[in-house]
Amino acid sequence: MSMAIELVWRKEMKRRIANLCFVAMLLFCGTSLAQADAKRSITKIAGDLYRFQNNFHYSVFLVTSDGIIVTDPINADAARWLKAELAKRFNKPIKYLIYSHDHVDHVAGGEVFANTAIVVAHENAKTDIIAEQRPTAVPDITFSDQMTIELGGKRVELSYVGRSHSDNMIVMRFPAERALFVVDFIPVETVAWKNMTDAYIPDWIDAIARVEAMDFDILVPGHGAPGTKADATAFRGYMETLYAAVLKGAREGKSLEAMQQSVRLEKYKDWYNYDTQLPLNIEGMYNQIKLHRRGN
């Protein structure tokens, strides 16, 4: 290689390295700013049960004399923030971590708590976490139908109510606080999310009915504002109405596009995301009905 060519080559390599460094700096700054801008808070639900917010995601935790029971970590950065806050506010070890289901936007970051916590989930969630290589701690203990965790004289009851938004979704009942933590499949005055990917219909409707049969007053969702048992009943009504309307259209031979124009569900027009998500809800229900009919 001649000296002139070598000088040009070196100059080009320096330029490329400088560009890579600049891009890396932008990525680092962007990540840092995103973390700094995350909306996080801790609010009391009832008694020693609290709600943790990370932007649009929520989890709950229960403080006892012998330690803390936490639920969905949401992501690693959120989990680190929560862990530091719990140490500062309560100065107690985190003894249990409970996953509501396996979806990554709720379950990621479990490794942050795994040094002191026993990780608990439904048996199907463990299978999916391993198979999908979710970025979280693998559950230490699993169950199929029901499980009760007792710590420091307090109790949380875990129940699998059937397939809904996933095949491993559980609900968590805090009897002393009369609260139920329900993630993703029972929102409060909100239509379902997009086209209900990974949904199981009509199992989802049956799962809501099982929740309604439980003894609780406060419904704590994984997104949005808390509600009551009446909100579970209302959302079941929405799902039943949507299912019936789309099934009727399918039996009449209507196309998806035609149903997205004609199915309005005016009773729910004031619910959050009605205008943007209803057409996607119709699509998801249409796909589920087609799948179910093929299965039969």
The pLDDT value recorded for residue 69 is: 98
The pLDDT value recorded for residue 292 is: 67
Which parts of the chain register pLDDT below 50? 1-34, 296
Q: Which domains does the chain have, with CATH numbers?
A: 38-184 (3.60.15.10), 185-206+228-296 (no CATH)
pTM of the entire predicted model: 0.86
The pLDDT value recorded for residue 217 is: 98
The pLDDT value recorded for residue 4 is: 41
Q: How far apart are CA 45 and CA 295, in angstroms?
A: 43
The pLDDT value recorded for residue 137 is: 98
Angle between helices 229-251 and 203-212 (to 10 degrees): 160
How are strands ordered across the β-sheet holding 94-98? Answer: 40-46, 49-54, 57-64, 67-70, 94-98, 118-122, 141-143
Per-residue tokens: 237: 């009504």
The pLDDT value recorded for residue 37 is: 79
